[in-house]
Amino acid sequence: MTDSQETEKLQKVLANNGVGSRREMERWIEEGRISVNGTVAKLGDRVGGDDQLRVDGHLLSRSKEKSPCRVLMYNKPEGELCSRNDPEGRATVFDRLPNIQSDRWIAVGRLDINTSGLLLFTNDGELANRLMHPRHEIEREYAVRVFGEVAPAMLRTLQKGVELEDGVAKFTHIHVRPTDDESLNQWFNVTLSEGRNREVRRLWESQGVQVSRLIRVRYGNLELQKRLPQGAWIELDLEKVNQLRKMVQLPKETETNLKTDDDKLDHARISRMRRSVKKHKLNKAGQSRRNVASTRPKR
């Protein structure tokens, strides 16, 4: 490895080359999946341009020219995992994303299997890392359906702060949505300025009520497109990409591969998206049935 003045942190280099987010890369380094010049890497390593990096034994082709920053908006349905693959063959959020040449899609945060809504993907590891990092305090807004009686005092407590197992957490804003007075379910819109694991659900559960539906509707100043079908994605135009970059103090992107109106959702495009999502679900269901059949003992 070269002198530290000419190097960068290993996890940053991996993220910038589209392998994954910085947090993910730190975990991979700890798991011994990364090597530098034939030696298993450790957290804290720095690398230069001539160092040879391998991921799971495969040589990393390091881009000399950085690809234009791209961002996808995905409307995640319930039942999909936020992982690249699943040993049990369950659907993942990466299954239907478009191929990306010489890069890799990185999920900006996670949604648990029972949560739906807005999920962002990018090929820019630095953008993903900054959007997820707590110091930038990027707001996330959720529509949440709660089962149980919710008193005004409970809402004040949730905004003041609740001690969870991983520290104090709170909603920065709670909006009560109109509902049927006779229903035991009530809808709220809540915002957070961080993204801890299952934080929305855990906050409500700390008050003795249960979340029966959870939908992420906004990330920063980017709202989920209402016409985007569940299980479908759309690529953001340069203006929206730069809105995200500005929020985390990154320089403007000047290039895009999008054509004019590529991000528009007209009736014909929405119909194609729905057919594609339906076809994918049928194929996935058929594959799951074949996998189950192959594991049955032969008579």
Q: How far is CA 61 from CA 66, 121, 159, in A?
A: 12, 21, 47
Cα distance between residue 220 and residue 243, in whole Å: 9
Closest among 266, 258, 255, 209 to 237, alpha carbons compared? 258
Respond yes or no: is residue 261 known to be catalytic: no
- Please enumerate in sequence order all residues whose Cβ is within 8 A of that of 187, keeping only pairs 6 or more positions apart, or say none: 143, 144, 145, 146, 177, 179
192 burial via Cβ count (<10 Å: 0-12, 13-18, 19+): buried
Q: At what angle do helices 22-30 and 125-132 cross, to 10 degrees?
A: 100
- Which residue, chain included where needed, has tokens 């993907």? 121
User: Do the strands 116-122 and 210-219 form a parallel or antiparallel pair, or are they unpaired?
Assistant: parallel
Cα distance between residue 270 and residue 6, in whole Å: 49
93 burial via Cβ count (<10 Å: 0-12, 13-18, 19+): buried
**Among residues 50, 56, 86, 112, which one is catalytic?**
112
Residues marked as catalytic: 112
